[in-house]
Amino acid sequence: MPSGRIGDERSQTSLGIVASRNVGIAGTADAAYDLTMKRLAGRVAAITGGGSGIGRSTAVRFAEEGATVVTIDLDAKAAAATSEIAEQHGGTCAWYESDVSHHEAADEIANDIVERFGSLDVLVTAAGISVGKTVPDTLPEEWDDIFAVNVKGTYLWMRASIPRMSSGGSITAIASQLAVSGGISNAAYIASKGAIVSLCRTAANDHAPQGIRVNCILPGATETPLLERSFARFEDPTPYIERSLSRHPLGRFGKPEEVAEAALFLASDDSSFTTGTELRVDGGWIGG
């Protein structure tokens, strides 16, 4: 039994049989695409940090596309709520209360997922924390905490998942546009996101022969509790909000649902020839 707490056992089976319709696509005479097939039907997806924001939206989107969705989060109430919401959108859902930086827990939960649901096909690592300080202001223990959750948590969940992806799989880490562009007053966080990008690039090379694709998403500022907390650190957040908005050529912040759409692309066969890449969902921040 995993050391993390496990979600309730209500089994929801909304993987309904959808009447299939084969449609030939012009120019691809032999290709027949089943447009009604849910894109993650039959897949088991683990989402760390699924209790809130980007992770929660991803859980819901994956459930809509027929996945069995397993939410892993430090916050049990939030993880349970995500499971409940995702179930309402279809899909079999479960949750675990767990700290992603704990080595044994990742391994035990991944094992439990395979025992309960038969496979582990998709991993999205969205658990992340930020402290919002320059290098001199960052305490060594804050640095360690950020790296423990953001980098070690990503590594541990990859480590637990890869050997269990026996028929191939897809891993997507949520990094940040700041990993490429840099930023201000967020040294440990941005360094951790750079490490995640490098980790994904090398894991993509190592595990391509096993049919495991590894990619990153680089979201821009996205309307989630994490973003709210990062602005709330300033006595007067207005200039920081305005500065951040002005860095997005699209002139607004992203929505977690928009990041979830990218996560779905990377998790599904729609991206079957995509590995080792960083997908920007940043409103144009990096290019702007």
Q: Any contact of residue 179 with ligand NAD (CB under 6 A)?
A: no
Query: Among residues 63, 69, 78, 146, which is the contact residue for ligand NAD, using CB under 6 A?
Result: 78
Residue 119 DSSP one-character state: -
Q: Any contact of residue 75 with ligand NAD (CB under 6 A)?
A: yes
Determine how β-strand 68-73 pairs with β-strand 22-25: unpaired
Say how far apart CA 84 and CA 172 lie, in whole Å.
Answer: 23
Q: Any contact of residue 199 with ligand NAD (CB under 6 A)?
A: no
Q: Any contact of residue 49 with ligand NAD (CB under 6 A)?
A: yes
Q: Any contact of residue 2 with ligand NAD (CB under 6 A)?
A: no
Determine how β-strand 212-219 pairs with β-strand 169-174: parallel
The CB-of-193 to ligand NAD minimum distance in angstroms stands at 7
Q: Any contact of residue 221 with ligand NAD (CB under 6 A)?
A: yes
Q: Any contact of residue 128 with ligand NAD (CB under 6 A)?
A: yes
Active-site option among 33, 155, 189, 240: 189
Using alpha carbons, select from 243, 222, 229 the residue that is nearest to residue 288.
Answer: 243
Mark residues 86-105: x for contact with ligand NAD by CB under 6 A, - for none: -------------xxx----
Angle (CA) 190-97-60 rounded to 5° is 75
The radius of gyration computed from the CA coordinates of the chain, to the nearest angstrom, equals 19
Q: Residue 189 catalytic?
A: yes
The CB-of-97 to ligand NAD minimum distance in angstroms stands at 9
Q: Which amino acid appears at position 104 of this protein?
A: E
Structure-token pair, residue 5: 């707490």
Backbone angles phi, psi at 30, to 5 degrees: -90, -15
Q: Any contact of residue 156 with ligand NAD (CB under 6 A)?
A: no
Query: Among residues 59, 126, 262, 266, which is the contact residue for ligand NAD, using CB under 6 A?
Result: 126
Catalytic residue set: 189
